[in-house]
């Protein structure tokens, strides 16, 4: 996959979450309200099924949270894909700090080089630490044109047993 395509995919996924995830930030990374019941999503004409549940997932993600970032209320989710026998965890944060400062912080913390670029007025960066044998993690940063905050999405896929 080309660098530009990878950045575009990351930016679009994060932008979709920005548009679809409601709720305000929880200062200090506080917990969400009571977890919502699981949602089952089935593909049209397939046997694929994904169960999505809101829950506290920061421990499962295991990635560092940028200092001063605020957890977006309702953004912590766990999705279980029966066919892949794994679970995807994600959480989204916001920060008023400069995009470049946040990107450099994650590059230092994760010891990886970010792939970054700008697509259709949205600036994006994708950081992918090495897989650890149990799964894979990503950090996606996005900032829409004229937006004062940077969206930070932490995600992890853990293989099933």
Tens of pLDDT, residue by residue, the chain (161 residues): 344 334 434 443 443 343 333 344 444 444 434 444 455 555 565 555 666 767 788 888 989 999 989 999 888 888 877 666 788 889 999 999 999 999 999 999 999 999 999 999 999 999 998 888 788 999 999 999 889 999 999 999 888 75
Residue 87's pLDDT is 84
Cα–Cα distances in angstroms (integers) from residue 138 to residues 55, 78, 108, 153, in the given order: 19, 15, 15, 8
Dihedral in degrees, nearest 10, Cα atoms 27, 29, 34, 35: 140
Residue 8's pLDDT is 39
Residue 128's pLDDT is 93
């Amino acid at each position: 996959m080309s660098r530009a395509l990878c950045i575009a995919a990351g930016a679009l996924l994060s932008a979709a979450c920005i548009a679809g995830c409601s709720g305000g930030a929880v200062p200090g990374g506080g917990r969400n309200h009571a977890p919502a019941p699981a949602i089952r999503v089935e593909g049209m004409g397939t046997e694929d099924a994904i169960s999505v549940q809101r829950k506290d997932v920061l421990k499962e993600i295991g990635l560092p949270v940028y200092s001063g970032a605020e957890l977006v209320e309702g953004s912590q989710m766990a999705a279980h894909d029966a066919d892949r026998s794994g679970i995807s965890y994600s959480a989204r944060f916001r920060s008023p700090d400069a995009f470049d400062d946040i990107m450099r912080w994650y590059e230092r913390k994760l010891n990886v080089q970010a792939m970054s670029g700008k697509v259709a007025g949205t600036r994006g960066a994708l950081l992918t630490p090495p897989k650890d044998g149990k799964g894979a993690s990503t950090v996606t940063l996005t900032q829409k044109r004229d937006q004062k905050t940077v969206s930070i999405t932490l995600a992890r896929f853990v293989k099933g047993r």
